Amino acid sequence: MRFLKAVLIVGLALGVTACSKFQRYDGPAVTQVVVNKGARRMYLMHDREVLTSYDIGLGFAPEGDKQVRGDGKTPEGTYIIDRRNPNSQFYLSIGISYPNAYDVAEAQELGKNPGGDIFIHGRPWKNRKGGRDWTAGCIAVTNKEMREIYAMVRNGTPIRINP
């Protein structure tokens, strides 16, 4: 009986560890994130080496550069990973520094708000059937992939979002 109890305790401990959304990463530093919107691919880079890549979903109107709040577009340009949200309604998320000064000026010329709150994030249960491009302008991956990305990408990492 003691043996069975010990096996059960060890099994539960391993199960809890395996289910944790916070992973450790001890590999080479991610020095840049590159997103190719047209190919729906995101690459985590160490200098010129691709460490890993992911299929991605984009905003619900993915063609073109984000200009204003509510346009459903994912921004294009060079930004910085600038924040993290472990309690995101979209599982886990890391923030992208949109809008930059250029984005703000572009929206002001149109007399509009540039929007904000652009993230790389997972896919919550309520959005499980949302198709490939379903976000309001963010970059979406699976929850499993988001656990990896959250562990690998640090605040301050540059991100280049290409058309």
Amino acid code (one letter) for 37:
K
Per-residue model confidence (pLDDT) at position 1: 55
> Cα 127 to the chain's mean position, in Å?
15
Strand ranges of the sheet holding 118-121, from the earlier edge strand across to the other edge: 49-55, 41-46, 32-36, 158-162, 77-85, 93-96, 118-121, 139-140
46 alpha-carbon distance from chain centroid: 17
> Residue 97: which residues within 8 A CB-CB, separation 6 or more?
79, 80, 81, 82
Q: Alpha helix locations (H) across 20-142?
A: 101-109
What pLDDT is attached to residue 21? 77
CATH 1.10.15.40 assigned to 24-162: no
pLDDT value for 47: 97
For the entire predicted model, the pTM comes to 0.83
Torsion sign across C-alpha atoms 89, 128, 76, 27:
positive
- In order along its 163 residues, the chain shows pLDDT tens digits of 554 454 444 444 444 444 567 889 999 999 999 999 999 999 999 999 999 999 999 999 999 999 999 999 999 999 999 999 999 988 899 999 999 999 999 999 999 999 999 999 998 666 666 678 989 999 999 999 999 999 999 999 999 999 9
- Who's near 71: CB < 8 A, 6+ residues apart? 59, 61, 115, 137
- The ranges assigned to domains in the chain are 24-162
